[in-house]
Structure 1
Amino acid sequence: MLNRRVRKLIEQILKFGVVGIIAAILDFGILNILVIFAHMNNVLASTISFTLSFIFNYLASMKYVFKHRPDMARWMEIVIFLLSAVIGLLINNAIIWMSTLGMDADAFLTQHAEYVLCTNIGKIVATFVVAVWNFIIRKIFLDDTHTAMMSKLQKKGNTFTEEELEAKWERSLSHRIGMWSIEHTPKGWR
């Protein structure tokens, strides 16, 4: 039988997957509309589709997947989410660009079917790579991991005391960033 922490992680991964699938459908749909019908360059179209799906992903992830951390200001959550998305966009666009690398410069007009196929294959690869990147970064910096650490105390055979876990949490980069953000939140933003 899986312990409670592993079950919670699996449940969170599944929720992340559902949000990700919906965001991916939006991303692929918009990308293909722009490339197929508007004959737009795949990197430009991918940037637009990625940005629109990112907005949905942020709202859904913060509502259904990750719990707000009481030790982090909302503005810092948005900054971390945005920075991870910008890096994700760069990864995404690099993979999309490489998917049609070597094709004629006007391939999106002259070899349209091949261009669309290569773009979609690249998008599939990019979607998986960026999904892994996003989950790891968001799990580390945005999720309420303090509660998970404290639940270790309830596990049988635990070798950590509550004080040791609390000290470990307070030394963590995630907590220090969160506390810094609260201390530097302008009045009226809370």
Structure 2
Amino acid sequence: MILTKRNEQRRFFRFAIVGAIGAVVDFGLFNLLSAVLHVDTVVSSVISFVAAVLNNFLWNRYWTYPDSRSKSVSTQIIQFAAINVIGLLIRTPLFAFLESATVPVFEKMLPSNFFFSATFLGHNLSLATAILVVMMWNFFANRLWTYNDVKSD
């Protein structure tokens, strides 16, 4: 298994930190678009995802996998983007499903004068769950394809 090796554990830790930074980009842009600018939530989710992917590629290329240089930047970004498109195909229906399930639950559970609205909480819980699922896909797929030129010793 990849994560049994110390270097891979360090890479996963860095990948997770990059993912956390990407999540800030993702959540920040998502909430700006959906809550402030009133863009449809699924559209906001896709736009924020693309911004986070670009952010994450740069951090992963130069910090998580600085020893991955046998491939050109263009090759790696195409591979990284392809894996993330699959991630988007996982994330979008998962987000839409979770959103439709969580918002009504929060509407029933929370008082109407609660600090955060049921919609806001439902959207963000759905997005957080989708991000965690896709992060696992992204790490393993990118490690095995995009950054397969890095030794795992």
Q: Mark yes or no: TM-score above 0.5.
A: yes
Equivalent AA in structure 2 for residue 84 of structure 1: I
CA positional deviation for 1:97: 0.9
CA positional deviation for 1:144: 4.4
Matches within 5 A, 1:26-175: 26-66=25-65, 67-70=67-70, 72-101=71-100, 113-145=117-149, 147-148=151-152, 151=153
Contact 2:68 2:149 in 1 (8 A): no
Q: Residue 25 in 1 paired to residue 24 in 2?
A: yes
Contact 1:69 1:144 in 2 (8 A): no
CA positional deviation for 1:114: 2.3
- 1:68 is paired with a residue whose SS is coil
Stretch of structure 1 that moved more, 111-120 or 47-56: 111-120
Q: Distance in 2 between matches of 1:47 and 1:91?
A: 12
Q: TM-score, normalised by structure 2?
A: 0.80
- 1:58/1:146 CA distance change after superposition, 3 Å: closer
Q: Distance in 1 between matches of 2:11 and 2:76?
A: 18
Equivalent AA in structure 1 for residue 55 of structure 2: F
The runs of 5 or more residues in structure 1 that have no matched partner are: 105-110, 152-190
Equivalent AA in structure 2 for residue 34 of structure 1: L
Equivalent AA in structure 1 for residue 138 of structure 2: N
Equivalent AA in structure 1 for residue 68 of structure 2: H
Contact 2:87 2:138 in 1 (8 A): yes
Q: Distance in 2 between matches of 1:76 and 1:52?
A: 19
Identity between Structure 1 and Structure 2 (%): 26
CA positional deviation for 1:145: 4.9
Offset from partner CA, 1:32-70 (integer Å, 9 cap, x none): 111211122110000111111111101111111123242
- 1:146/1:84 CA distance change after superposition, 3 Å: closer
Equivalent AA in structure 2 for residue 68 of structure 1: S
Equivalent AA in structure 1 for residue 37 of structure 2: A
CA positional deviation for 1:75: 2.7
Structure number with greater Rg is 1
Aligned length: 138
Q: Distance in 1 between matches of 2:151 and 2:86?
A: 28
